[in-house]
C-alpha cells in the first residue's frame, strides 16, 4: 500500500482564463486532493523524473475527474511520503503552454512554474521519539483500563486507589502534551530553517 499523501495543492488558473474567471473546478479539485493517497514511484537514479511524473499524474487524474482535456496545471503540491531518501526534497519545473489568455483572439505562449516538495515523515523524526510516544500511549491506555476495572469492582464508589490512578493519568497526559508541543516547535523551527536555506539556494 502506498505511503504517499497529498497534504496541500494549488493549481494555476490564468492559463485558461475565460471572461467569467470563476475557477470552480480548481476549488473542487483542491478539495478532492486534500489527504488523498497516491502512488509515488520513486526512482533514486532519476528523482526529478519521479517528481515530474507525480505532477503529471495529478494533472491527468484531475482532467479525468472533471471530464476535461489538458485543463489542470499544477502550481504547487506538497506530499508526505516514506518512499524518498531525504527528509525534504524540493524541485521546481517549468511548463510552457500555448493558449488564449484572458479571452483574447490570438494564441499566446507563456511559461509557468511548477513546484513540488516531499517530506519524509519517518526520517524527519528520530526513532527514539516514536518509541517514547508508543510507550507513553500504552502506559496511559493501561492506566485507563485499570481505572475502569477498579471502578467496576468498587460498584462506582470513588476509592483512594481510583483517585491515585486518576492523578497518574492526568500527570502522564500532561507530560505527553508538554513534550509533543516541545517537539512540534523544534520540528517547525528546523523545517523553517531548511526552507529558508532552500529559498536562498534558489536565489543564488
pLDDT tens digit at each of 204 positions of the chain: 457 899 899 998 877 655 444 567 888 898 899 889 998 888 888 889 999 999 999 999 999 998 888 889 999 999 988 888 788 889 999 998 876 555 555 667 888 999 999 988 665 555 556 667 777 788 888 888 888 888 888 887 878 877 888 888 888 888 878 877 777 776 665 565 555 555 555 444
Given 83, 103, 119, the domain boundary residue is 119
My answer on whether 73 and 152 are in the same domain is no
**In a shared domain, residues 8 and 53:** yes
What single DSSP character describes residue 19? S
pLDDT at residue 53, as a whole number: 94
| Among 95, 119, 143, residue at a domain's last position | 119
11 and 112 together in one domain: yes
Pair (27, 97) in one structural domain: yes
Say whether both 176 and 77 belong to one domain.
Answer: no
**Are 66 and 32 in the same domain?**
yes
Q: Show the domain range for 155.
A: 127-203
Report how many domains make up the chain: 2
Question: Locate cell 508508543: which residue?
Answer: 134
Buried b (16+ CB within 10 A) or exposed e, 117-131: bbbbeeeeeeeeeee
> Do residues 162 and 143 make contact, with C-beta atoms less than 8 angstroms apart?
no
Please tell me whether residues 100 and 146 are part of one structural domain: no
**Are both 139 and 95 inside the same structural domain?**
no
**What does the pLDDT read at residue 39?**
87
Q: What's the pLDDT at 122?
A: 65
The 8 Å CB, 24+ separation contacts for 135-139 are: 136/172, 136/175, 136/176, 137/176, 139/172
Q: Are residues 95 and 140 in the same domain?
A: no
The last residue of one of the domains, among 86, 119, 152, is: 119
What pLDDT, on a 0 to 100 scale, did the predictor assign at position 17? Answer: 54
Shared domain for 137 and 187, answered yes or no, is yes
- pLDDT, position 134: 74
Same structural domain, 72 and 144:
no
In terms of domains, do 79 and 36 share one? yes
User: What grid cell was written down for 13?
Assistant: 488558473
| Residue with grid cell 517549468, as numbered in its chain | 94
Amino acid at each position: 500500500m502506498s505511503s504517499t499523501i497529498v497534504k496541500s495543492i494549488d493549481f494555476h488558473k490564468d492559463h485558461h482564463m475565460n471572461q467569467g474567471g470563476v475557477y470552480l473546478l480548481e476549488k473542487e479539485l483542491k478539495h478532492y486532493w486534500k489527504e488523498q493517497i497516491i502512488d509515488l514511484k520513486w526512482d533514486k537514479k532519476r528523482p526529478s523524473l519521479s517528481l515530474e511524473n507525480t505532477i503529471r499524474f495529478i494533472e491527468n487524474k484531475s482532467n479525468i475527474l472533471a471530464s476535461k482535456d489538458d485543463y489542470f496545471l499544477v502550481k504547487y503540491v506538497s506530499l508526505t511520503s516514506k518512499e524518498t531518501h531525504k527528509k525534504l526534497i524540493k524541485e521546481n519545473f517549468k511548463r510552457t503552454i500555448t493558449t488564449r489568455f484572458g479571452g483574447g483572439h490570438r494564441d499566446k505562449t507563456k511559461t509557468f512554474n511548477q513546484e513540488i516538495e516531499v517530506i519524509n515523515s519517518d526520517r524527519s523524526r528520530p526513532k527514539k521519539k516514536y518509541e517514547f510516544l508508543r510507550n507513553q500511549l500504552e502506559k496511559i491506555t493501561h492506566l485507563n483500563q485499570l481505572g475502569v476495572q477498579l471502578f467496576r469492582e468498587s460498584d462506582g464508589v470513588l476509592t483512594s486507589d481510583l483517585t491515585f490512578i486518576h492523578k497518574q493519568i492526568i500527570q502522564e497526559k500532561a507530560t505527553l502534551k508538554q513534550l509533543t508541543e516541545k517537539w512540534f516547535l523544534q520540528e517547525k523551527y528546523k523545517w523553517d530553517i531548511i526552507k529558508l536555506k532552500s529559498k536562498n539556494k534558489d536565489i543564488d
